[in-house]
Amino acid sequence: MPTGADAPPTARAIRVVRTRAELREALSSAPRPIGLVPTMGWLHAGHRALIERARAENATAIVSIFVNPKQFGDPSDLARYPRNEARDVEICQESGADLVFAPDVAEVYPPGFDTTVRVGAIAEPLEGAARPGHFDGVATVVAILFNLVGAERAYFGQKDAQQLLVIRHMARDLAIPTDVIAHPTVRDPDGLALSSRNVHLAADERAAAPVLRRALLAARGAWEGGERSGGTLRRIMSDVLAREPLANPEYVSVSDAETLREVDRVEGPALLSLAVRFGKTRLIDNELLP
């Protein structure tokens, strides 16, 4: 990026708002349709792709940056979540966003806040089982963001496949008229899905982490070769993970892509998904079949 005197004039200056009132005021003159990209900051090329898509498909592109305490079960996980707002705002600007909403916790959850949005069965397995309360926090904050912004569209990454389904369900059940749009997972060249958490990986863990992708692709390859047994596909993924000593699998799943119920046989669209720990860092990834 050129800087200083070499920098070309920027097309539009980005605006950062922090309160509900400032957001409302900024939105009152924003051209429609509006595209929203909810994030927790520490933005990377995966977020960039969502923002660029929101930019391309809408007249106004808004990014929210909010590390949502309600979706963290473990206080140390929240405390060590990486943050760098100045850099995030730069990335938002480069990716074409018009507006950043970066509220503090009391602005999102004012004193006396006492409502939880809980989505049912789709939020229970996988990440829901591994991280109790996580999706309550996600659904609650996204419902608030959807109501505050009133966007026509909101963009989410396929990397968090269950989150996407939970949010779709929430928006439908609560009659929130924001279209929930999925965007493909952005990866490093070695296949590791980009994640704000990758920064915590030690060098040897980072080198080992693409094993998630290899496990998913091994199962996909078997499925493409005609294998339909859920048990066999799970075993193929577990075997690949077992060959990487730094990888501690938390779950290895082959589920129905809509209900996320584990399947014995893959007969329709299915989701292969993994959660694996490397030291203290927990990574997830998934692959949709077909």
- Residues identified as active-site: 47
Instruction: Compute the C-alpha angle 169/83/207, nearest 5°.
Output: 85
Residue 178 C-beta: closest distance to ligand AMP, Å: 13
State which residue, 266 or 283, has the beta carbon closest to ligand AMP.
Answer: 283
Smallest separation, CB 227 to ligand AMP (Å): 27
Residues 87-116 that bind ligand AMP (CB under 6 A): none
Q: How far is the CB of 265 from ligand AMP (least distance, A)?
A: 29
| Chain-centroid distance, C-alpha 256 | 20
Q: What Rg value do the Cα atoms of the chain yield, rounded? A: 20
Coil/strand/helix, residue 61:
strand
**39 in contact with ligand AMP (CB under 6 A):** yes
Nearer Cβ to ligand AMP (160/287) = 160
Q: Does 40 bind ligand AMP (CB under 6 A)?
A: yes
Residues binding ligand AMP: number (CB under 6 A): 17
Which residue reads 């990377």 in tokens?
A: 44
Sign of the torsion formed by the C-alpha atoms of 288, 126, 120 and 255? positive
Min dist CB 4 to ligand AMP, Å, is 30
Q: Residue 38 class from Cβ within 10 Å (0-12 exposed, 13-18 middle, 19+ buried)?
A: buried
Strand, coil or helix: 275 = strand
Task: Select the residue interacting with ligand AMP from 46, 125, 128, 210 (CB under 6 A).
Answer: 46
Show contacts with ligand AMP in window 137-196 (CB under 6 A): 156-157, 159-160, 183, 185-186, 193-196
Sheet strands (E) in the chain: 15-17, 34-39, 60-65, 99-101, 153-157, 179-183, 248-256, 270-278, 281-289
* Residues 141 and 36: beta-carbon distance below 8 Å: no
Q: Is 47 in the site for ligand AMP (CB under 6 A)?
A: yes
- Answer positive or negative: Cα dihedral of 159, 162, 167, 169: positive
Q: Judged by CB under 6 A, does residue 220 bind ligand AMP?
A: no
Among 27, 34, 50, 139, binds ligand AMP (CB under 6 A): 50
Beta strands 281-289 and 270-278 are antiparallel
Say whether residue 205 binds ligand AMP (CB under 6 A): no
Nearer to ligand AMP, 200 or 233 (CB): 200
Distance of CA 205 to the CA centre of its chain: 21
Between 21 and 199, CB nearer to ligand AMP: 199
Please report how many Cα atoms fall inside a 13 Å half-sphere around the Cα of residue 24, on the Cβ side: 5
Q: Which is nearer to ligand AMP, 44 or 234 (CB)?
A: 44
| 78 CB neighbour count, 10 Å cutoff | 14
At its nearest, how many Å lie between ligand AMP and the CB of residue 139?
A: 13
Structure tokens at 112: 């006396």
Does residue number 216 form part of the binding site for ligand AMP (CB under 6 A)?
no
Q: Using CB atoms, what's the residue nearest to ligand AMP?
A: 157
At its nearest, how many Å lie between ligand AMP and the CB of residue 44? 7
Q: Give residues in contact with ligand AMP (CB under 6 A).
A: 39-40, 46-47, 49-50, 156-157, 159-160, 183, 185-186, 193-196
